[in-house]
Structures are given as structure tokens and as C-alpha cells.
Structure 1
Amino acid sequence: MRTTQAIDSVARSVYLAMVDLPDAGITELAARLREAEETVRQGLEELSALLLVVPGDTATGWRPVDLELGLAAMLARQQAELARHRLQVEDSRLEVTRLLTEHGRAGRDSAPGVEWLAGADTVWRRVAELAEGCEQEWLTVGPTERLATAASGGVPPVEEILRRRGTAARTIVLESVRNDPDAMDRLRGSGDGIGSIRTLPSLPAWMILCDRTHAVVPVVGVQSVAGAMVCCVESVTEAFAALFARLWKEALPLAEARPRTRGSLSLQEQHVLRLWAQGLTDAAAARRMDVSLRTVRRLSEKLTDRFGAQSRFQLGALAIAQGGILVEDTV
């Protein structure tokens, strides 16, 4: 069952054709779109479910609603549904953190190829062990300070181990690192390695891949790493490697200046609009982008004024209507 509703390409074409030809019937719309009449009817059913058409006295029996109002209704329904799922994900994350804290390394043998670690020191000792044995490539996704710097306890920083061993490394960090002079100085201090660092405004997951044979997925608390899962199951590590490849392709090299995209929107503004459209709260968006809640709320005020919106739902609808984000960004 679909948990969210997004307008597909056929339904979108039907909607736009109805706007252009308000008196057209299904046969005429089908001819205009070069689609079967049954396909047009299915498109109308989808538009009805999305509240983008309502019963009317036209030849099709349906009348397209104002785009802004229709998108606002669609986004409201999507955000309510997604908010419920976000709460379920947060509850699951907190439960994993609790189990890691309670059971520690006792769960290491609970499943073949899966190792559970509890506590930051334990995580970084294991990560350092993997770095010492890494022979081909070290891939990292996540906030620089939390994933690249070892905890206390005499464990050398991972980047120091990799540099000593001459191991190739690539890293994707959050775009917000560009606003942190100390972090930028540390990254620039990596010398020629800066070309292997890229940034994204938000990250779907934090992870480390060692030789694409071991995946480390940190469980992050409010302020620090609470534990981690280490997995060497091939199907899992291949999936994380594919995710890294996609993110790397989308990411911006750290050495390049941040471009402004979609008209006057910055990458940060575009991404926070996308996260809101996907149902994330301000707090959840702040965690995903690793910025303060105050920063997200400041962006909200700025974007609301810029688009002339009266509500968050209207802001999302106007952003889509004006090309700030795409309909596909809402799922």
C-alpha cells in the first residue's frame, strides 16, 4: 500500500491539459496527450485522490482546482502521514540506542556478520581497528567532527591512521561545515586530500565503509555517538556502497564555491524546503542538516517572507509552483 501520494507524470499531464482545455472531454484529452482513454480516466482518479480535481459540470465530470490550493491540500495530507512515520523512525532509533547501552558488546554474536557496539570509546576503537586493516578504500558519510575524530582513550584519529597507511579515502560531509572556520581549517590541513571531500546540505544516513566489506553505521544520540552497528554482510555493504556512489555524484567538491540554484534559492534553502515537504519537523530537519533549530526557524521566516506565504503548507505549494522544489521532492 502506498503511504504517501505523489502526482505521477500521466496525472500531471492530464491536469495541465484540463487547465489548457477546460471544456475538453476524455476523448479529446486522450487525443491531446496521445494516451488511451482508460489512462486518462486513471489519471483523473489519481487527481481526485490528490484533491487536484473536484466534481464539476465539464465534459469529463471533473474540474481542475487552483494549482496552489490543490498542492497545499496534497502537501498537508502527505506531511501528516509522513510525520507519523518520522515518529516511528525516531522511536525505533531511541530503542536501538537503549538496547546498545544495556547490552553493549554482548550482542556481537547475535547475528552472523553483524556486530553491535555500545559507547563512543568502543565504537572508535573498533573503527580504528578497521582503519588499520583497510587496504583499498575508506568511505565516510557524516558530520566531520562526529565521524572523523576519535573519542578519548588513547585511540588515534582515523584520518591519521589512513594517512600513515596511504589508504585512499573519500568523505561526504554536511554543507554546514563551510560555515565553521575551525572545521574548514582542519579539512584544508589534509593537504591533497581536500579533493576527496564533498558536501551535501543534508545526509540520509551516517556511515563508514571499509574496503566495501565492512559497514559501520553509528547510532547517534543528542550530542554524541551512543553506539554502532558493524556489518560485513555482502548484500548490506553493497547497498551502502551504492548509496555512497549516488551521494558522491550529487555532492559538491569542497574546493568549489557553493552555487545558487533554482533562481535565488541557496542549496541550504532548497534542501530545507525539500525536507519540510517530506514531512520533517523543524527539529528533525535541523538534525538532518546538523544545524541549530534556530537556524532552521530563521530559514522558515526568511522563506515565508520571500514567497509571501501565510502558512508552511502554502510555502511548500508556492515553492513547487514557482520551481523552488519539484513535486518529486515531496516523497
Structure 2
Amino acid sequence: MAGLLGITEEQVRAALDALFDLALLRESTDAPQGIHIVAPEIGLRSALARQQADLARRQQEVAQSQAVIARLVDDLSRSERASGPVASELLGMDAVRDQLQLLAQEARDEVMTLMPGGAQSPRLWSTPAATTSTSSPATCGCGPSGWTAFAIRRTR
């Protein structure tokens, strides 16, 4: 066959393998050691059905992975809520101040910060819920602009 087509035997084998994979060829049941040419509409439908089955299997794997990831995220979320996050990134002073105000509002005992730039205004930390809290800034001269250690203590 390779001689008739003017190609190598390896190329013939590769082409036959591809046709078998597409279900356009199969072993003949009538002729031992023979090959049967399958009608394209039959072979291609069969190949499409195999691909659809593979796709369904893969979609099932993705769905299972999504369920596992959702459980892990939920477990992590629950764990962080129970113990608090290890760290979080805040970008910009507004975000830092918002986070500190939220912590001050939710604190049961105290919130302590160490901030560059000197003393911060206690009004930044005051909230309507902070009626029974005490705040005490203490400035130290660390660095060129100084640092402020600020504590809010609640007595609910």
C-alpha cells in the first residue's frame, strides 16, 4: 500500500490508526486479517458519540472538583471566622482606616495598632456603639515622623 501511495510504511500506519480512531475503519468480521471501511455517517456519528461521552465524563469531573473546592473554601471561611484570618492586605489609608473602624466597632476587648505618621485623631475610632469604650493614643518618636500606638478597650 505504501508503494502505491508513494509514502512510507510508517505514514500508512499512522493514517490507518487515525481512521481507526475516527471509527472509519474497523477489523472485518467477514475476512480474517482484513479491514472494513465504515460509511462516514456511521463512523463519524460513532466518533462524535465517543467525544460526547468523554465530554460528559470530563464535565462530571469538573463538577466534582467544583464541589470539593466549594467545601474547602467553606471550611476555610468557617475556620477564618472562628480564628480570624492570618493576614489581609489593605491598599491605601482609607482602606486601613475603614478596617480599623470596623475592628473598633466589633471589638469585645481591645484593638491595638501601630501606625506611622504620629498620633491619630480619636474621632477616627469613635462610633455610636463605642459609648462604653476608652481610647488612648500614645506617641513614640520612632522614625522620622514618629509612630502611634493606639488602643481601644471596650467594656460591654
Same fold (TM over 0.5): no
TM-score (normalizing by structure 1) = 0.22
Larger Rg over CA atoms: 2
TM-score (normalizing by structure 2) = 0.42
Higher relative contact order (CA 8 A, sep 6+): 1
